[in-house]
Structures are given as structure tokens and as C-alpha cells.
């Protein structure tokens, strides 16, 4: 199939979280399977910086052209690069005032959130460039709210633009809580017929994600359990009724992980390599992590790793509440992350007052993240909600049985050991997000670590299949459904 992915993020050009990983790995897997795939991104400042570090620059994709939005005309350029480790073309929509900012979701110079304006320009420029280049995809695959205008143009602009007649749209919701909500006065910037405004508004505001949910031919989420959760009042973030109305178009497809980036057998960031067949090198990785964290490598007590954005969504506030008891019971903890300043200060405070027992690194460091995944005994993810999650899959691949709250993708990937399922268990899980539940589950994992069952848990973890090839096959089915719903052949 001819597939065009539209996203605000893609590794290595721009990334703030799992979205950037997915929009690099899925197209790469699809191209390897024989699909004709390209990726469309804003030319963010981090992308320009990445090219400068490489000592190169993307080529001109097509001559510059102008896009009109609410009476203002903007000249945009289209640059063409390539996704590393593949032949997948990447097309960048370039407009300096809108996209050359430090953080990719930064407001404008006045502090105003102009996201609707920026991403409307991105989508309309991408579609215009596809026409100039003579590339009309069979599938427009849009990720989260940023390119959400594309399904709406395809569904509601046909009387003006027949180009969309042969194009089906798929929307992937990576995190329902990010919806692109703006003042209704900005609706004209979308360039949609006025009669569609009720379809794009929620609670009196333009809601781009809602519009895409209503307009898309198929909707996916990044795990089966999350697809179920977002249809409930508790998990629907205000859009549960809209999603229930489209339940026949909603599918959960579990993300995969990229073995070229996350494979302990050839990971350049590790002190020692190892595999499911020979896991001896994990001992060396544990020793290296102890040295970096200031821990005693001879202490057999559990080392618990945690990586991620320090937010309440990730449950780090509750984890930090549990830290004193965890340390008291003999668990050592290594954390890497940044986010909420209060949580950052709590994390750094534990590190200052518990040397040799608690280590904290602020920010994100790719090499250190790999070292923690490989060197820790177990990895904890106490998320309040987790659309998919990738770190638990990295942990499984690295033989580091994870401890997770049973929600979203965590429930779909981690089979908690309960004493009678050693043949299938690959980690530990709990339901109640409380310090007591965390302490109790870590104690259960700690007892398993000290017993003969741990090697089997590691074996089960490292033999789990989270390949992108599997995910790409599921997306093929969704693409065919999308075209069928639109009355198109595939």
C-alpha cells in the first residue's frame, strides 16, 4: 500500500515521548514488508539541529508555495530527507516562525499557544505538497491531534476537493488526554465548511481530536486494553461518548519495540552484551549500574529502576510516597526523569539523603536509560493510565521483569506472577495505586528474586514477542477496513 504518516514527532528528528518512537519504527517495519511509505513532519528546530550534527542537510522536496489561513498568506518550503536505517522518505514542512522553536510544542514569542494555527498550516501544506509531487497515498495515517485536520479535510471537503476521493484516513490515538482544544474563534483557520463546526467542538471549544475521531475512516489506539478504557467515563477524558458512537471503527493495536535500538545482544550502550540464550552478561551490566549509582555491587538486594516523565499520569507521586518504606525494607532505587518540579525535588532529595541506596538523574539520557534497563533487577511503572507504554517492553527484552499497575498497555504486556503461573508470568502487577500496593508488590518481587524462580521469569520476559512486524500486520488489516468503509479497493 501507499501510506503517508503525518505526525508532530519522529525519531531522531523530534521526540518528546513514545509518539516519536512509534512514528519511526512503524514506517520502517512497513517499508521492510514491502509497503510504499513516507513520513510528513514539521521541520522543527530539533530536526535542524540533528542535521547540523550530521554535517548534512535535507534536499529541496518541491518549490516553495503559499498557504492562506484566515486571510493571511504563509510561504512554506518542503524539504526531503530519509529515515535512518531505512529508505523511507521523510518530508518536512518548513516555516521558520512556526516550527523553528526550541521545544517543539513551545508557544509563540508572546507566550500564546498557536498550536491550532501551526498544525493547520502543517496539514494543509503537506496535502498541497503531495499534490505537487504527484503522490496520493491510499492511506493517510495521522498520529494524535496535531495532524487531525487531515481526516476532516478528507471527510468534509470532498465537494471542494476531489483529491481525497481515493484516500482513506486512519487516526491513531497515542494519548487521549492531549486533544488540541482551542477557542472557537479559531475554527475558520481549519478551512472547513461552517456546518461542520458542531462536529469539531466539545464543551464550547474547538477540539481537533474529537473532529478526527468523528471524521476518520478507522481509529486505532496503541493497546487493546486502552481501546476499551477510553470508551468508559473514567478513561474517556470527556470523549468517551464520541468514541462509543464509533466503536465499530475503533481497534487497539499494541505498539512494538525497535530491535535495532533495544536489543541487549548488540546494544552499544551496555557494559556487557547478553541474550535470551546466554544472559550471563547481565551480571556485568548490573555491576556497571552499581558503579554509576554509587551502590555496592556485592549487595544482592534488589535494584529497582524507574525512567520516565515525572508526572501524576505516570504515578511517580505515589511511587515517591512509597520510597521510605522501600528503602527501609532493603530495596535500592535508580531513577531517571524530569517533569513536575515538586516531584523532581522530592526525587533529588531522596538521593541526597540516601547515598548508596537511592540514585537520581535529572533529565533524559539515552545511554543511561539503556544501562538502567539492563542493570536493574526489576523495573517499576505505577501509571495511573498508560495507553501502551514502551519501557515495560524494553524491560522484558532486557530480562528485567517489570512491576506495573494493571492498566492500558501495561495490562496487555506484563503477566503478573501470582504463585501458580510460572509457565507464563514475566513480571509483577497490582491494581490499587497506593504506596502500600507498591511496597507489597515490590516485596513479592524481592522474594522471587531471592528464589530459584527468578531465572524462569527472566526467560519468559526475554521470549516475549513485541516486534513491529507483528504490529505492522495488524495495521494492514485496519488499512483495508478503512478503504472498505470508504468504498475503495485495496
C-alpha distances out from residue 68 to 57, 124, 156, 196, 278, Å? 28, 9, 19, 20, 60
CA distance 367 to 389: 19
Question: Which DSSP helix (H) or strand (E) runs through 451?
Answer: none
Give me the sign of the Cα torsion angle 224, 227, 229, 232.
negative
Asked if the domains at 2-256+469-485 and 281-465 fall in one CATH topology, the answer is yes
What is 381-428 written as a DSSP string? Answer: E--S--SS-SHHHHHHHTT--EEEES-HHHHHH--B--SS-TTT--BE
CATH architecture of 281-465: 3-Layer(aba) Sandwich (3.40)
What is 14-70 written as a DSSP string? Answer: B-SSHHHHHHHHHHHHHHHTT-EEEEEEE--HHHHHHHHHHT--PEEEEEEEEEEET
**Contacts of residue 246, Cβ cutoff 8 Å, sequence gap at least 6:** 213, 214, 219
Cα distance between the two ends of the chain: 8
pLDDT for position 102: 86
The dihedrals phi and psi of 87, each to the nearest 5 degrees, come to: -105, 20
Report, as ranges of residue numbers, the positions in the chain whose pLDDT lies below 70: 158-159
CA distance 56 to 277: 40
pLDDT for position 392: 97
Domain ranges of the chain: 2-256+469-485, 281-465
Q: Looking at the chain, how many residues does it have?
A: 490
* Fold classified for 2-256+469-485: Rossmann fold (3.40.50)
C-alpha distances out from residue 42 to 19, 86, 246, Å? 14, 20, 30
Which residue spans within 70-113 are E strands per DSSP?
Answer: 72-82, 89-94
CA distance 144 to 142: 7
The residues facing 42 across adjacent strands are 93
pLDDT for position 426: 98
Residue 275: which of 398, 374, 391 has the closest Cα?
398
CA distance 256 to 471: 6
The dihedrals phi and psi of 258, each to the nearest 5 degrees, come to: -90, 110
pLDDT for position 161: 85
CA distance 330 to 447: 11
What is 302-360 written as a DSSP string? Answer: -EEEEEEEESTTTTHHHHHHHHHHHHHTT-EEEEEEEE-HHHHHHHHHHHHHSTTTEEE
Residue 426: which of 413, 444, 441, 410 has the closest Cα?
413
Record the cell numbers describing residue 289, joined without a space: 549500574
Beta-sheet strand order (sheet of 378-381): 358-362, 332-339, 303-310, 378-381, 402-405, 428-430
Amino acid at each position: 500500500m501507499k501510506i503517508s504518516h503525518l505526525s508532530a514527532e519522529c525519531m531522531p528528528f523530534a521526540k518528546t515521548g513514545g509518539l516519536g518512537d512509534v512514528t519511526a519504527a512503524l514506517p520502517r517495519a512497513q517499508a521492510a514488508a514491502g509497503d510504499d511509505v513516507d513520513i510528513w513532519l514539521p521541520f522543527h528546530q530539533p530536526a535542524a539541529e540533528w542535521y547540523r550534527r550530521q554535517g548534512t542537510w535535507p534536499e529541496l522536496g518541491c518549490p516553495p508555495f503559499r498557504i492562506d489561513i484566515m486571510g493571511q498568506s504563509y510561504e512554506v518550503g518542503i524539504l526531503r530527507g530519509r529515515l535512518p536505517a531505512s529508505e523511507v522518505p521523510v518530508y518536512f514542512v518548513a516555516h521558520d516562525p512556526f516550527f523553528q522553536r526550541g521545544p517543539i510544542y513551545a508557544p509563540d514569542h508572546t507566550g500564546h499557544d498557536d498550536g491550532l494555527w501551526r498544525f493547520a498550516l502543517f496539514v494543509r501544506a503537506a496535502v498541497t505538497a503531495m499534490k505537487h509531487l504527484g503522490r496520493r497515498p491510499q492511506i493517510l495515517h495521522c498520529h494524535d491531534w496535531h495532524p487531525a485536520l487531515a481526516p476532516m479535510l478528507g471527510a468534509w471537503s470532498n465537494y471542494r476537493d476531489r483529491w481525497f476521493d481515493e484516500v482513506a484516513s486512519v487516526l491513531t490515538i497515542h494519548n487521549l488526554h492531549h486533544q488540541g482544544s482551542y477557542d472557537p474563534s479559531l475554527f475558520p483557520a481549519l478551512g472547513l465548511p461552517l456546518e461542520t463546526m458542531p462536529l469539531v467542538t466539545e464543551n464550547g471549544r474547538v477540539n481537533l481530536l474529537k473532529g478526527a475521531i468523528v471524521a476518520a475512516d478507522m481509529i486505532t489506539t496503541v493497546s487493546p486494553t486502552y481501546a476499551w478504557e477510553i470508551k468508559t467515563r473514567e478513561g474517556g477524558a470527556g470523549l468517551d461518548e464520541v468514541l462509543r458512537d464509533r466503536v465499530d471503527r475503533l481497534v487497539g493495536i499494541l505498539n512494538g519495540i525497535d530491535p535495532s535500538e533495544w536489543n541487549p545482544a548488540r546494544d552499544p550502550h551496555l557494559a556487557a552484551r547478553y541474550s535470551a540464550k546466554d544472559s550471563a552478561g547481565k551480571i556485568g551490566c548490573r555491576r556497571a549500574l552499581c558503579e554509576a549509582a554509587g551502590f555496592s555491587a556485592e549487595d544482592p538486594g534488589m535494584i529497582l529502576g524507574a525512567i520516565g516523565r515525572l508526572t501524576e499520569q505516570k504515578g511517580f507521586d505515589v511511587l515517591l510516597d512509597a520510597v521510605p518504606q522501600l528503602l527501609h525494607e532493603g530495596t535500592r532505587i535508580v531513577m531517571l526523569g524530569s517533569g513536575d518540579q515538586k516531584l523532581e525535588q522530592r526525587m533529588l532529595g531522596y538521593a541526597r539523603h540516601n547515598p548508596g541506596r537511592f540514585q537520581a538523574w535529572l533529565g533524559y539520557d539515552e545511554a543511561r536509560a539503556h544501562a538502567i534497563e539492563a542493570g536493574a533487577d526489576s523495573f517499576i511503572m505505577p501509571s495511573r493510565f498508560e495507553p501502551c507504554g514502551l519501557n515495560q517492553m524494553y524491560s522484558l527484552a532486557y530480562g528485567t521483569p517489570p512491576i506495573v499497575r494493571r492498566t492500558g498497555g501495561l495490562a496487555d504486556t506484563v503477566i503478573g506472577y501470582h504463585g501458580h503461573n510460572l509457565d507464563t508470568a514475566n513480571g509483577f502487577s497490582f491494581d490499587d495505586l497506593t504506596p502500600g500496593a507498591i511496597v507489597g508488590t515490590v516485596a513479592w518481587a524481592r522474594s522471587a528474586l531471592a528464589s530459584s524462580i527468578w531465572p524462569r521469569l527472566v526467560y519468559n520476559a526475554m521470549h516475549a514477542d513485541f516486534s513491529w512486524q507483528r504490529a505492522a500486520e495488524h495495521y494492514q488489516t485496519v488499512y483495508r477496513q478503512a478503504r472498505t468503509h470508504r468504498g475503495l479497493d485495496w
